[in-house]
Structure 1
Amino acid sequence: MSVQQADPLHDVLTLVGTTSRLSVGLVAGGEWALSFEPPPAVKFNAVRRGRCLLTVDGVPEPIRLAEGDCFLLTRPRAFTLASGPGVRPVPARPVFAAATGGAARVGTGEDAILVGGRFDFGERARELLLDALPPVIHVPGHTAEAATVRWALEQIDAELRDRPLASALVTEHLALVMLIHLLRLHLAVAGPGAVSGWLAGLTDPIVAPVLGAMHARPAHAWTVAQLAGVAAVSRSTLAARFKQVVGRGPLDYLTGWRIELAARRLRHGDETVAAIAREIGYGSESALSNAFKRVTGVSPREYRRRSGPAGGRIAHGAGLGDRPV
């Protein structure tokens, strides 16, 4: 059965409003160690020269970083970068506050050079994306699979070194390219349990085409039989496999994604609830309102009011990353 496919990773990254920002680089030498406070956003660093040791709160073993390696810190956890074990760290904040020429310096010499930055996401990113990832993603730079990540880092280096016109904008977009390839690479090489929820489904041969079909046509009145046809399996096989991999049934997932689409329109647009209902596959305003309240705990109108500039934020009761209750 040939069915139009969409890219769920693209959809979620777009929905959560992914942006990037490069930070001051780090030049280090001799014996050194820096302790970093829990970052407010997703943190990334890449070793452009030398090597160092990464220790993250809550992660049992330190991670040795070699030249070309990258890491992505997906949780707000304190971490330490050091020349090796046993070195007493100093706080990183004053070191970076004293940075000159686009680089902070610690120790003596230039044995190690790191570039880094942060990825900022919208209010739904934690539940939709980040909670499905491990606290730290480490990508060794020497592997053939990391070639595109190395290319992006080389281009970032060139932009930072030569500062051509619009270099800040170019480096931010290159960082986003790097993020996507880091996620792709992690999904490609991750073992069982390394990711969960819909992310795990992206690499499953039965679940992936079903996710793609639902994201391509979220307003379609999908049945389990139709979705099983997309995957070329029986209804029972799809239902069991989808729940095993994603943590919920395919139609529960579809409801969750529709509610995410509705919530984004309510937060950022001025469409009526009835118009939103038609666009995402509900036959009436009341049908959407019932589903929306069941998932989020509030009506669409109340959600819009609370999500406005004066209303603060509201958490969903169940999203793509949660099992339905």
Structure 2
Amino acid sequence: MDPLDDVLALLDTTSHVSAALSAGGRWAVRFDPPTGVKFNAVRRGRCLLRVDAAPEPVPLDEGDCFLLTRPVGYTLASDPDVPAEPAGPIFRAAADGPARAGSGDEVLLVGGAFSFTDRSRDLLLDGLPPVIHVPATTKEAETVRWAVGEIDAELRQGRPGGRLVAEHLALVMLIRILRLHLDRGTPSGWLAGLTDPVVAPALRAMHAHPERPWTVAAVARSATVSRSTLAARFKQVVGCGPLEYLTGWRIELAADRLRRSEDTVATIARAVGYGSESALSVAFKRVTGLSPRAYRNRTA
């Protein structure tokens, strides 16, 4: 069982493609914090990306892509010293063509965003940096460029099933970028555990059978290490203990079933590893701040 597959399966993804931005000369455009996860592909030219939460600007060359994982403001510019104009009026003034900045068209960016539920965002994105740069030379950049074009076509043509296709394309793009991030050896949180020789088998075991009455010793046996070794390594890599992680994962599974099914709370409790409805309710409220029934009513 692949924990990343499990997490991605819980995402409620909605794709949005924004108008393209054409620019030239000396220019800079300031964007408000996006409501979703923002992505862009540089179809032509080069520019600088400055993200509020990142210490250094990111040079973008033709064919490069980037993913913004946080709701933070950012700026695209030709040079670092150009005063930025707000993006809102520029994009509102655009008709069917791209929005325009500066005095030429040697730069073209196309992108958009996809959004998740709040719980999905916390689960998947908390361990990621605010911006992930995808250089043109990587196979992931080719996937992103292709996916951006396909998402744009699906949403603009309005064909049957187009939005569902766009949402799946967004997930394909996200998976490829996450793989790139993992290959770079810079993840944190539970994503880092996917490549750790001690933590990975423990994660796979808990994801494969969340309903089991796991103890730290039992999880350690699944990873063929001692209890103390697992506890220390899991805490170091993931940032919490194995049973604390398991509780969070069980709550995510329960929340997903509360949103998507009409199963009783008692049925869901047994399926995710709680012996009773009251045990799930206590844990669920501790993690989410809501009882299972209140959560179901709010997300109905």
**Could you say what secondary structure the match of 1:124 adopts?**
helix
| 1:111 maps onto 2:106 in alignment | yes
TM-score under structure 2 normalisation?
0.89
**CA offsets 1:32-85 (integer angstroms, 9 cap, x no match):** 111111111111111111110011123221111111211111111111101112
Deviation (angstroms), 1:268: 3.9
Check conservation: 1:27, 1:105, Cα contact below 8 A. Answer: yes
1:87 to 82, 85, 90: 82
- Identity fraction in percent: 63
Matched residue, 2:279: 287
Larger mean Cα displacement after TM superposition, 235-244 or 216-225 = 216-225
Check conservation: 1:66, 1:141, Cα contact below 8 A. Answer: yes
**CA offsets 1:199-230 (integer angstroms, 9 cap, x no match):** 22112121112112211211122233332232
Matched residue, 1:266: 258
| 1:201 maps onto 2:196 in alignment | no
Change (3 A) 1:298 1:42: closer
C-alpha separation in 2, matches of 1:151 and 1:58? 26
Q: For structure 1, which runs of at least 5 residues remain unmatched after alignment?
A: 1-5, 310-325
Check conservation: 1:43, 1:118, Cα contact below 8 A. Answer: yes
Q: For structure 2, which runs of at least 5 residues remain unmatched after alignment?
A: none
Change (3 A) 1:256 1:154: closer
**Could you say what secondary structure the match of 1:252 adopts?**
helix
Check conservation: 1:26, 1:103, Cα contact below 8 A. Answer: yes
Larger mean Cα displacement after TM superposition, 157-166 or 97-106 = 157-166
Over the aligned positions, Cα root-mean-square deviation in angstroms equals 2.5
Change (3 A) 1:29 1:74: same
Matched residue, 1:314: none
Check conservation: 2:17, 2:151, Cα contact below 8 A. Answer: no
Change (3 A) 1:9 1:102: farther
| 1:46 maps onto 2:38 in alignment | no
| 1:30 maps onto 2:34 in alignment | no
1:173 to 127, 143, 168: 168
Map 1:1-325; keep pairs closer than 5 Å.
6-142=1-137, 146-154=138-146, 156-157=148-149, 166=159, 169=163, 170-191=165-186, 195-305=187-297, 307-308=298-299
TM-score under structure 1 normalisation?
0.82
> How many residues in Structure 1 have an aligned counterpart in Structure 2?
297
Larger mean Cα displacement after TM superposition, 257-266 or 48-57 = 257-266
Check conservation: 1:20, 1:176, Cα contact below 8 A. Answer: no
